[in-house]
Amino acid sequence: MLGRDPLVVGGDFNCVLSRADRRGAGGDFKVDRSSVLLQVLCRDFKLTDCFKTLHPREEGFTWTSGDGTRASRIDYLFTRDCPPTDARITPAFFSDHVMLTCTLSLSSGVTVGRGPWKLNCSLLEDDRVVSQYREQFSQWQTLQDFFDTRAQWWEMVKERTRTFFREIGKEKSREKDRRMVGLQKRLERYFNLCQQGLDFNQEIKEVKKEMALLAEQRCKGVILRSKERELEEGEKCTRYFFKKIISKGRIMTGLRNKDGVLKTDTEGIKEVVEDFYGELFGVKDVCEGTMGDLLTYIDKTLPNTDDLKKDLTRTEIDQGLKRFKRGKSPGEDGLPLEFYLTFWDVLADELLTVFTDFEHLDRLPDSFRVGIVTLLHKKNDRTDLKNWRPITLLNFDCKLFTKVLTLRMSSVLGEVIHPDQTCAVPGRKITDSLILIRDAICYARDRNMRLVVLNLDFEKAFDRVSHQYLFKVLQKMGFPDRFLAWVGLLYGDITSKILVNGHLSKAVGVHCGVRQGCPLSPLLFVACIEPLAQVLRRDQGISGVGIPGSGGMTAKCVFYMDDVNILCTDLLSVDRTLDRTDWYGRASGARLNRDKTEAQFFGPWADPDLTRLPLTVKLTDIRVLGVKFDRGGGGSGNWSGILGTVRQRLGFWGLRQLTFEGKVLIIKAVILPVLLLISSVFIPPRRRILDLERTLFYFLWGCKWERLRREVVKRPRSRGGKGLPDLYLFLGSRYTALHLTLATSPVNNKTQALARFWLGSYLRTLRLIPVDLRAPVSFLLPPHYVQLQKFLRHFKLEKETVTVLTKHRSLLSLVQDREPVCPVRGLAIGEPTTVWRNVAHPALLNRHRDLSWMVAHEILPVRAVMHSRGMARTSACPRPGCGQEESVRHMLWECRAARDLWKEAGPLITSCLPAGEDLTPQLVLYGVGRRPIPSKAFTKLWPTLTCLKEALWSSRNLLVAKNVETTPQAVAMVATEALGWYGRKGASTPGEGSPTTP
C-alpha cells in the first residue's frame, strides 16, 4: 500500500463507513470501532469509495435481511490512482449479498518508476558487511597506479561500491523472503498436525515469534523510509509513518507545454520538463556594456585572500563533514552521508587526494558534474512548471567539496557584502531585516509620514543567474584566481537530470543559475545580487526612511537572499526602483516578475495613488519573509495561521504512540520552531498563547482531562515538572533578549539604531545605557515594545544587569530557579528533590519515567483518583475480595496482589538490593531508601523496581478492561521481560530510552 502503483482494495468489510450505510438499526445505532478504523484507512491511504463516487445519492446496500427490515452497505471497492468510470450492484442467487462490480480507468500513460538507486543504510549496521567492504576497498587501493588521475580511480571505486551494496542488498532481501515463506509453510504444517489431534502448540508459538521478528524488521524499514528524525526507543510502526510516506508520494499527472497543451503521458511529461529546463538553464543573453556599468558599483574588495587560496587540508574536510545532517537524499550515485561516516577512517585521506587532484583537470569527473533535480510543488496550478521549485541533489562527495569552499567563502563574505543583506553572512540574522521593517513602519505611523514597503519578486531567481556575470562579480570583489578556478570547475560543463514520477529525464545542460541544494549556492547568489543592492542604495531618486540618531543612516534596502524589500516614501521612488531593477536584469540575466511584485502603503496616501502602479497593491497584509505586516504595522494576522499549523502538526504526531517524555521533545523540536521566527518580531497576545497552550496540553494528555495543573507540568524536571516550555516565558525571553541586545549594542547598523531610538528612554530609566542628550529617543513606546516592558515587569526583571537581560537562557534560568519544588505528599523521609531526581533518572526508559512521575504526583488513573473527579462510580479496588480504596500507594504496595508480587519477585530484587536496605514503600514508590544508596547500585535497583510497578499496573488494567486475572508469577515474568530492555541496551547509558535525533 506504500507503493506508487495504482491500488485496489475490496471485499466484505462487515462494517459501514457512515450511519447512512445502514438501515433499520434503531435510534441507538453508533458507528463502531471497525467503522472508525475503515474511515482512517481510507483517509490515510487516500482511497476512493468507487460506488459512492459515482452514485453519491444512492443507498447502495449490499446486504439485506430475509424479512427486508434491515440493510447495510458493507461490501466495498476502494481505489487509488485508478478512478472508477462505472460502478453497479447486481443481485446474486448464490449469496445474501449483492454483487458489486466496478470498471476502473488507469491513468493515460503515466507510469511511476522506481527512482534512482539509494544505499540501504541498514546494511551499514551489519558488521559482516562493513568488514567485507573494508577488505574490498583495500584491494581497490592497490589499483591506483593503473589510473592516470586519482579522480578516475575514485570514479571506479564508487561504481564498484554501488555494485557491492546492490548485490548484498538483493541477497539479503531474497534471504528474508525465503525465510518468511519457509516459516509460513512450517506454520501451516504444524497447524494441520494440530487439526489431527497432535500437540504442536509450542512449535507454533516459536514459529510465530520468528515471523513476528521478521515483520518487525520490515516495519523498521517503513520507519526509515519515512525519514523521521525524532524516534523513541522501541517505538512501533504506527499509522504515522505510513501516512508520512503516502503524503510524499503524490505523482505528477500532467503538465502543459509552452503552447498550453496538456501532456498526460510519461513521455509527454518528460518532454515538457526537458524543454522547460533546457530553456531555463540555457545561456542567458546579457548586455556587456550594462554589465560593465553595473560592476562599477562594487566598491569593496577582499583585503586578505590568503585563506581562500591555500591548499586544501584534512581538517577542513573533517569540519565540512560535521556540518551535514543525516537522513538526506543522496545524488545519482546513491551513497549518502551515512556511508561516508561509516568508512571515514579509510575514505578521508583518499578524498583529500581526489580534491587536490582537481586542480590539474580541465573539468570535474562525470559523477561530480551531474545532478538530479527533484521538483517540489509550491502552490497554485500543478500543471504549470513555474509553480514547481527545482532542488538539485548532488553526490555527497561533490557536496563535501563545495562545503569546504563554502566554509572558506563565508569567513570573508562579510567584507564585501553590505549589512543590509542578512543572509549567508555569519553573524547576521533574518530577524534583523524583519525588525527593521517593523520599526520603520512604526516610525512612519508615529510621524504621520508616507511609506511604501515594496516587495520585489524575481522569476526563478536562482536559476537565471548568468555564469559570465557570476564570475565577473567574484573577480571584481577580489576573489583569487585559485578559488575562482575551483568554483569554475563546479560550474563547467555540468548537467542535470530531472526526476519525474520516478523516471529520470535526459541530461540537460546547465549554462546559468546556481544549484538549489548545493552548499555554495546561497553565498554565490548573495554575491550576485549585491550590485543591485548597491545600485538601489546609492540612487538619489529613491528616497528611504531617515533613522533618527544614526548619524545619517537611511533605511532603504532590506535584503535576505532573493527576497528584496525596498522602503521608500514616494511613488517616484517605486517607479525608479522597478526601472533600476530591470536594468540590473539586463546585466545579470535576472527577470523581475511584476505580477507577483507587491506593495503595501502606510500613512496618508490618496486612493488614486494606489492604483496607478504596475504591480499588486496589498490592501490588507503584506507577507515579508514569512511574516505578515498589517496596515497598522502589527502582526495580528499571523497567529490564526500559526495556530492552525500547530494543530495540524500535532494531529499528525498524535498518530504515534509516544510517551509523555517523547511528546515534550516533539513540542520542543517540532512545534517551537514554528513559533520562533514570528515571535521574534511580534510577541503573541495572551489570548493566542492560551489557545496554543490548550492545543499543546490536549496533545500531551491525549484528552481534555488534564491530571495536573499546567504550571506544575511546565516546571523543570528537577522541581517536579516535565520541562514543558512555558510559551509566554520562553518566547518572551527570546524576544526581550534579542531586542535589548540590539538596543544596548554600539550602533553599527540601521536595525540597532532604530531599536535604540524606540527603547532609549525606557533603557535610560533602567540604567542600561548612558544618558546622551545628543541622541534623540522616543518617549512613547510602540505596542510591540510595550510587550517587552510588560514581560520584564511581570517576571520582576527590571533590576537585572544588561548581561542577564541580553541572554535568553539567563532569563529562563533566572525565572525557573524561582519556581518552588513540588512537594511529594506520600514522602515520609528524604527531600522532594531526591524523588524528582529519581523520577527523571537517566537510566530509565521514557515510559518508566512517565510512570514514576505520575506515581510521585499521585495522578495515576486509579479508581480513587478517577472517583474524586467524577469519572468512576466507586473508589474501591477492583481486585476480588479487596474492597479498600484504590489509591496509588494501595495499588502498588498495600493491596494483596501487590504484596504477592513483591514476595514473588524477592529473588529478583534481592540481587540488586544493597546490604542493609529493606524493601519499603518509600523505596518502591519513590526510590528513597533509609540511607543513601550508591549510584551504581541504584542504577541497577531503580529500573528493576520500576519494571515491577509497570507490570503490576498493566495487570490491574487488564483486570479492569477485560476482567482477566493475572498470577503473581505471570506479572513477575512480564517485569523480567521488560527488564531485558536494560540488559540489551545497557541501563547505565545516560538518557537510554530518550527520543533520539540522528
Matching residue, cell 496550478: 381
| Residue 233 to residue 743: CA distance in whole angstroms | 45
Residue 558 parent element (H or E)? strand 557-560
Residues 640 and 627 in one domain: no
Q: State pLDDT tens for residues 863-888.
A: 999 999 898 999 999 999 998 999 99
Contact predicate 943/851, CB 8 Å: no
Residues forming beta bridges with residue 558, ordered by sequence position: 565
pLDDT reading at 994 higher than 80: no
With 90 as the cut, is the pLDDT of residue 114 above it? no
The domain boundary residue, chosen from 248, 276, 302: 248
Per-residue model confidence as pLDDT tens digits over 963-987? 989 999 999 999 998 888 787 555 3
Q: Are strands 63-64 and 71-72 parallel, antiparallel or unpaired?
A: antiparallel
The residue to which cell 508480587 is assigned: 901
State pLDDT tens for residues 536-594: 999 999 999 999 988 889 999 999 999 999 999 999 999 999 999 999 999 999 999 99
- Domain span at residue 561 reads 416-466+518-631
**Hey, is 767 helix, strand or coil?**
coil
- C-alpha–C-alpha distance, residues 122 and 79, integer Å: 32
Report if residue 191 sits inside a domain.
yes
- The answer to whether residues 66 and 172 belong to one domain is no
pLDDT over threshold 70, residue 624: yes
Nearest to 627 by CA among 551, 587, 684, 549: 684
Q: What are the φ and ψ backbone dihedral angles of 18, each rounded to 5 degrees?
A: -150, 170
On whether both 841 and 740 belong to a single domain, the answer is no
- Would you state the pLDDT for residue 1? 53
Average pLDDT over residues 762-777: 91
Q: Edge to edge, what strands does the sheet with 7-12 contain? A: 7-12, 75-80, 48-49
Q: Does residue 510 fall inside a structural domain?
A: no
Kindly state whether residues 650 and 668 are assigned to the same domain. Answer: yes
Do the strands 451-456 and 557-560 form a parallel or antiparallel pair, or are they unpaired? unpaired
**Per-residue pLDDT tens over the stretch 682-702:** 999 999 999 999 999 999 998
Domain annotation covers residue 602: yes
- The pLDDT assigned to 775 comes to 86
- Looking at the fold, whether 642 and 624 belong to one and the same domain comes out as no
Q: Would you place residue 822 in the very low, low, confident or very high pLDDT band (cuts 50, 70, 90)?
A: very high
Residue 863 maps to a domain: yes
Answer with the residue of higher pLDDT: 60 or 64: 60
> Cell numbers at residue 386, please?
513555474
Looking at the structure, tell me whether residues 132 and 161 fall in a common domain.
yes
Using DSSP's 3-state secondary structure scheme, residue 885 falls into: strand
Judge if 144 and 235 occupy the same domain: yes
Q: 968-985 and 896-904 are packed helices; what angle lies between their axes, rounded to 10 degrees?
A: 50
Q: What is the pLDDT of residue 482?
A: 96
Round to whole Å and give the CA distance between 420 and 428. 9
Q: How far is CA 370 from CA 278, 364, 442, in A?
A: 15, 10, 49
* Tens digits of residue pLDDT in 205-253: 788 778 777 776 666 555 455 454 544 444 444 444 444 444 454 578 7
Q: Does residue 395 lie within any of the structural domains?
A: no
The pLDDT mean for the chain works out to 88
Q: What does the pLDDT average to over 41-69?
A: 85
| Nearest in space to 278 (alpha carbons), one of 10, 600, 27, 512 | 512
Q: Are 86 and 147 members of one domain? A: no
Cα-to-chain-centroid distance, residue 383: 27
% residues pLDDT > 70 (the chain): 92
Share of the chain above pLDDT 90, in %: 62
**3-state class of 299 per DSSP?**
coil
- Rounded to 5°, the CA angle 361-366-368 comes to 80
- My answer on whether 163 and 21 are in the same domain is no
- The answer, yes or no, to whether residue 442 has pLDDT greater than 60, is yes
**657: confidence class by pLDDT, cuts 50, 70, 90:** confident
Instruction: Please give the residue that has the higher pLDDT: either 867 or 993.
Output: 867
What is the model's pLDDT at position 216?
66
Give the whole-angstrom CA distance, residue 426 versus residue 413: 8
Residues 772 and 858 reside in one and the same domain: no
Classify residue 805: in a domain, yes or no.
Answer: yes
Domain boundary among 616, 631, 646: 631
Q: Is 490 helix (H, G, I), strand (E, B) or coil?
A: helix
307: amino acid identity, one letter: D
995 within a domain of the structure (yes/no)? no
Instruction: Kindly state the cell numbers that stand for 658.
Output: 509516544
Residues 668 and 570 in one domain: no
pLDDT of residue 196: 72
What total number of domains does the chain contain? 6
What are 452-478's pLDDT values in tens digits?
999 999 999 999 999 999 999 999 999
**CATH label of the domain that carries residue 528:** 3.30.70.270
Domain of residue 32, CATH code: 3.60.10.10
Query: Which of 74, 104, 134 lies at the terminal end of a domain, its last residue?
Result: 104
DSSP letter, residue 592? B
Per DSSP, 202 falls in state H
Look up cell 541477497; give the residue: 171
453 shares its domain with 563: yes
Tell me which residue of 330, 332, 515 sits closest to 406, measured CA to CA.
515
Instruction: Give the closest residue to 271 by CA, choosing from 252, 257, 291.
Output: 257
Which residues are 510's β-sheet partners? 494
Nearest to 359 by CA among 312, 313, 406: 312
Q: Are 416 and 302 in contact (CB under 8 A)?
A: yes
CA 366 to CA 495: how far, in whole Å?
10
Asked whether the predicted pLDDT for residue 615 surpasses 50, the reply is yes
Region of poorest pLDDT, from 63-72, 343-352, 537-546? 63-72
Residues near 267 by beta carbon (within 8 Å), at least 6 away in sequence? 109
pLDDT value of position 218: 66
The closest of 972, 925, 968 to 948, measured between CA atoms, is: 972
Phi, then psi, of 374 in degrees rounded to 5:
-100, 145
| Within a domain: 271 | no
Q: How many CA atoms lie within 13 A of 487 on its CB side?
A: 28
Three-class SS of 650-717:
HHHHCCCCCCHHHHHHHHHHHHHHHHHHHHCCCCCCHHHHHHHHHHHHHHHHCCCCCCCCHHHHCCCH
Q: Cα(676)–Cα(682) distance, rounded to whole angstroms?
A: 10
Rounded to whole angstroms, how far apart are CA atoms 74 and 14? 5
Average pLDDT over residues 405-428: 94
Range name among 97-111, 233-247, 707-721, 811-825 with the lowest pLDDT average: 233-247
pLDDT digits (tens, 9 = 90+) for 117-153: 999 888 998 899 999 999 999 999 999 999 999 999 9
Sign of the four-CA dihedral 490, 494, 498, 503: negative
